């Protein structure tokens, strides 16, 4: 849950850089770097900005499905909403080998889905339902909208992602700030140090989450 205000993050950055009067780095620049930092975190930690949508309407004319416009990539397809029947991920090669015409196969409910992260905004379903307005429950990553602030004194907008990513956000902002003045050798070194710190913060969090994750991984099922 996010409780930290964006203007407070900018204030922290100004304190660290000893630029509280915004002479070297204007607040509008800090805000731009903050928005860049959010995208940096989400691109490296897809679970930082997740949406669970149980109202996804299937395109019943095609096995290929397109994610909502705000989606970055698919995490999983959970179930058919009306029947509650679960949906399992399967390798496309398995379907190609065992169900050659699977793209045209129809049925009452979706049993399997195929997803290739190299095509992050599409996935395929098998079989293809024929009932109009067939709904699925999806989990996918979304890109938070850019924050816009006009009053850097009174604005109350909080972080668009969880407070636990605060240090990574701040370090990435400092990386961008010091990169601007990289003509000074010490600033170039500081920039790279903050980029490394931001990356390591996300990597450490990933390792901790994996070690504490008690949820079983989705198993790829056989076709029926």
DSSP characters over 198-218: HHHHHHHHHHHHHHH--SPPP
pLDDT digits (tens, 9 = 90+) for 46-101: 899 999 999 999 999 999 999 999 999 999 999 999 999 999 999 999 999 999 99
pLDDT digits (tens, 9 = 90+) for 140-173: 999 899 999 999 999 999 999 999 999 999 999 9
Is the model's pLDDT at 212 over the cut of 70? no
- Lookup: tokens for 15: 């304190």
Given the DSSP bridges, would you call strands 50-57 and 135-142 parallel, antiparallel or unpaired? antiparallel
- How far, in Å, CA of 68 to CA of 92, rounded? 22
pLDDT digits (tens, 9 = 90+) for 8-47: 999 999 999 998 888 889 999 999 999 999 999 998 998 9
Q: Pick from 212, 204, 208, 209: which is nearest to 167 by CA?
A: 204
Q: Are 48 and 161 in contact (CB under 8 A)?
A: yes
Is the model's pLDDT at 211 over the cut of 60? no
Query: Residue 39 contacts by C-beta under 8 Å, 6 or more apart in sequence?
Result: 143
Strand order in the sheet with 64-66: 64-66, 122-126, 112-114, 88-89
To 10 degrees, the CA torsion angle through 105, 108, 112, 117? 80
- How far, in Å, CA of 28 to CA of 25, rounded? 8
Enter the pTM of the model: 0.78
- Lookup: tokens for 115: 């997803």
Query: Residue 118 contacts by C-beta under 8 Å, 6 or more apart in sequence?
Result: none
**Tokens 């949508």 label which residue?**
53
């Amino acid at each position: 849950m996010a409780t930290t205000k964006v203007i407070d993050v900018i204030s922290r950055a100004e304190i660290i850089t000893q630029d509280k009067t915004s002479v070297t780095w204007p607040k509008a620049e800090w805000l731009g770097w903050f928005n860049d930092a959010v995208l940096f975190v989400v691109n490296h930690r897809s679970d930082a900005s997740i949406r669970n949508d149980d109202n996804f309407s299937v395109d019943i004319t095609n096995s290929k499905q397109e994610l909502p416009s705000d989606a970055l990539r698919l995490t999983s397809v959970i179930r058919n909403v009306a029947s509650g029947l679960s949906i399992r991920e399967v390798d496309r090669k398995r379907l190609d080998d065992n169900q050659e015409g699977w793209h045209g196969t129809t049925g009452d409910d979706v049993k399997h889905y195929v997803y290739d992260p190299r095509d992050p905004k599409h996935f395929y379903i098998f079989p293809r339902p024929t009932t109009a307005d067939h709904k699925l429950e999806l989990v996918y990553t979304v890109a938070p909208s850019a924050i816009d602030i006009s009053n850097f004194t009174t604005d109350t907008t909080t972080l668009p992602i969880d407070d636990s990513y605060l240090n990574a956000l701040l370090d990435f902002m400092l990386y961008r700030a010091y990169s601007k003045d990289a003509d000074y050798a010490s600033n170039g070194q500081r920039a790279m140090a903050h980029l490394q710190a931001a990356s390591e913060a996300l990597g450490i969090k990933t390792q901790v989450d994996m070690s504490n994750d008690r949820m079983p991984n989705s198993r790829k099922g056989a076709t029926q």
